[in-house]
Amino acid sequence: WDSSCKTIVEFCPNETMADLERSLLSRYQIPLSADQLFTQSVLDKTLTKDNYQARLHDLLYIEEIAQYKEVSKFNIKVNMQLVNSFMLTGISVGAKYAQNGQLFARFRLTETLSEDTLAGRLVMTKVNSVLLLPLGREGFSSHPPSGVKERVYEAVIEEKTKDYIFLRICKDCCEELGLLPDREMQVELQFQLNRQPLCEMHYALDRIRDNSILFPDVSLVPTIPWSPNRQWDEQLDPRLNAKQKEAILAITTPVSVQLPPILIIGPYGTGKTFTLAQAVKHILRQENSRVLICTHSNSAADLYIKDYLHPYVDAGNAHA
């Protein structure tokens, strides 16, 4: 469903979406035709400096369409139980109460929601709302007058478990449909992907002003400046091996020296995090330096603080 075939009543108030987020969602709409989607940049055999941005835009749209296809496997017709409160179980013990004319709705999934499947993983991590269409007693929606689109209502996913999903239904929907707690309601549900992360990737692509970092001149052989003083710096951790020291020398080379991005790869337990943490400590000794550490999870970022930087500050390095 979209605005071309249904009248979508958005969840209101939307407390989580800022003006910039709304503008990104409207700016990066999925192309409607295959001709718009499969442009020459996608068909080119190689990724180049000239087709990089157009190709990545198209690939992001293709990825989004593939995600929608997977998520649609969970679209279902269900009986929802309407409540104005529910108990939380597991790690988040407590209770939630609906306020300001809103209601919660609980429904059981037809198949177990698990991150072991692609569709389940997408629903667990990348879906935060649904569109619901009220159904008649026979399981079919009542048809609106000719020329008038059916109204579907956006509901926010409040909690997810393996077998149940809890929705928050806005006041406007409750009033229009005359919803009351402790009742059941038959609806057709369509899960909605959170498009924001993909739109932010599109935005990042459009913000690239210079592709020279992504596509350096490969005819120039980069050399890492070497000196005995840097190689055997007493402030370097003695546990670093030769390759790890070489990586730190490359990372901490002055910005006036042209080097490509440094890529550190290796199997689990080979000291990648340890090497990067030592490089960070080395950089922090430089005046006016700033370090941004990006990880796939909060726990991975915590390791840098807990295992390396907090002890470093406690040892008297207040500048860090």
Q: What is the 3-state secondary structure (H, E, C) of 157-215?
A: EEEECCCEEEEEECHHHHHHHCCCCCEEEEEEEEEEECCHHHHHHHHHHHCCCCCCCCC
Q: What is the pLDDT of residue 57?
A: 92
Collapse the DSSP code of 82 into the 3-class scheme (helix H, G, I; strand E, B; otherwise coil) and give the result: strand
Q: Which of 167, 200, 233 is the last residue of a domain?
A: 200
- Global pTM reads 0.69
Residue type present at position 41? S
Tell me: do 111 and 87 sit in the same domain. Answer: yes
Which residue, among 178, 187, 78, 184, has the nearest Cα to 133 in the 3D structure?
187
Q: Do both 100 and 64 map to the same domain?
A: yes
∠ CA(107), CA(112), CA(117), 5° rounding?
130
How many domains in the chain? 2
Same domain, residue pair 304 and 279: yes
Structure-block tokens of residue 183? 């009742």
The pLDDT score that the predictor gives to residue 123 is: 80
Within-domain flag for 210: no
263 and 160 fall within a common domain: no
Token pair 């890529």 in the structure block, residue: 263
Is 207 among the domain residues? no
Is 83 contained in some domain? yes
**pLDDT under 50: residue ranges of the chain:** 137-140
User: What's residue 33's pLDDT?
Assistant: 67
Domain presence at residue 32:
yes
- pLDDT, residue 137, reads 47
The domain boundary residue, chosen from 144, 165, 200: 200
Domain that holds residue 225: 216-314
